[in-house]
Amino acid sequence: MEGASYQRFPKVKIREMKDDYLKFELRETDASMANALRRVMLAEVPTIAIDLVEIEVNSSVLNDEFIAHRLGLIPLASDRAMSMRFSRDCDTCDGDGACQYCSVEFHLNAMCTTEQTLDVTSADLRSLDPTVYPVDALPRPADPANGFDPSEQRGIIIVKLRRGQELRLRAIARKGIGKDHAKWSPGATVTFMYEPEIHINEDLMEKLTLEEKRNWIESSPTKVFDIDPNTQQVVVVDPEAYTYDDEVIKKAEAMGKPGLVEIYAREDSFIFTVESTGAIKASQLVINAIEVLKQKLDAVRLSMDTAEADEQFGELGAHMRGGL
């Protein structure tokens, strides 16, 4: 409709935040925004990963392709990925992907000279850019609360060498997105769930015996309900543990008490869980995803070439132009 305006102002509340874990609430928006944010976090936030491997010497038991694949999957610190150029768009090296603006060079040189097996790990990769390194390669302080002992830190194992075996290679890391290859995905797990609304019919619940209440509570595979030891009333102890399995609803119907509980999903409230691979912090992953989403929507809004916009954005582009 010409001149129509539809605005929402989503709210975010952080519940728990660590370097590689974030749990937050996204409210006052709809499923399209929540799903767009999730998909961008998984597939379109850029990171840096090894994309080209030139092996000079490999006398290990693993073939060259296997080692190259393992190197590509090592997460690299990607704080500068947003400001780097994609190698295909770099005008400094004409798309060769071998300059400081679009790539980072690594070297690995390992040889076993003892009778003991030598573990070649990500810590053995030598980066020519100190800001880009394997995420497990730098020493971290001891963390007794989480049981982390720095002496046990060895990095990610690439290959094991026996006496006389050698691995020598050069690798080029480039900027990319998860849509092109999973090695560029910054998110190990990104999920969201609808926040459930649970209402117990107190009048019907009063008609149940204590044993019937226990049987009804135990029908739920997760601990959503419990009995208050003081009042003997059924209470909701953890609504977010509900998995939308309808087991308690089916149990109530089997007991001849339909309507004992009403459960529905709030359509404007979502609970996100984000786990990062370590390439970027989980909190930064969300911020970068919002920035990427804004860039994509700006591209649609400002696009004057209908055919080009439709090819790139499909129905979303047509919808956005229709609402302008």
pLDDT value for 298? 86
Q: Specify the CATH number for the domain of residue 212.
A: 3.30.70
Phi and psi torsions of 168, nearest 5°: -135, 125
Cα–Cα distance, 324 to 321 (Å, whole number): 5
**pTM given for the model:** 0.79
What residue numbers bound the domain in which 210 lies? 202-259
Query: Do 170 and 206 sit in the same domain of this protein?
Result: no
Cα–Cα distance, 278 to 69 (Å, whole number): 19
pLDDT value for 297? 86
How many domains does the chain contain in total?
A: 2
Query: Angle at Cα 262 formed by Cα 261 and Cα 266, nearest 5°?
Result: 145
φ/ψ bin of 278: left (φ > 0), alpha (ψ from -120 to 50), beta (otherwise): left
pLDDT value for 312? 56
Q: What stretches in the chain show pLDDT beneath 70?
A: 1-7, 94-97, 137-154, 304-324
Query: Do 108 and 67 sit in the same domain of this protein?
Result: yes
Cα–Cα distance, 139 to 36 (Å, whole number): 36
pLDDT value for 317? 52
pLDDT value for 39? 95
The label of the residue with tokens 């970068």 reads 288
pLDDT tens digits for range 44-60: 999 999 999 999 999 99
Last residue of a domain, one of 259, 282, 307: 259
Cα–Cα distance, 195 to 83 (Å, whole number): 36
- Indicate whether 296 belongs to any domain: no
The answer to whether the CB of 257 falls within 8 A of the CB of 204 is: yes
- Indicate whether 154 belongs to any domain: yes
- Indicate whether 28 belongs to any domain: no
- Indicate whether 124 belongs to any domain: yes
Element (H, E) at 292: helix 282-302
Task: Tell me how crowded residue 70 is: count the other CB atoms within 10 A of its CB.
Answer: 17
Residue 322, CA distances (Å) to 1, 4, 32, 227, 318 in order = 8, 11, 17, 53, 6
Query: Do 80 and 147 sit in the same domain of this protein?
Result: yes
- Find the Cα–Cα–Cα–Cα dihedral 242, 246, 249, 254, rounded to 10°: -130
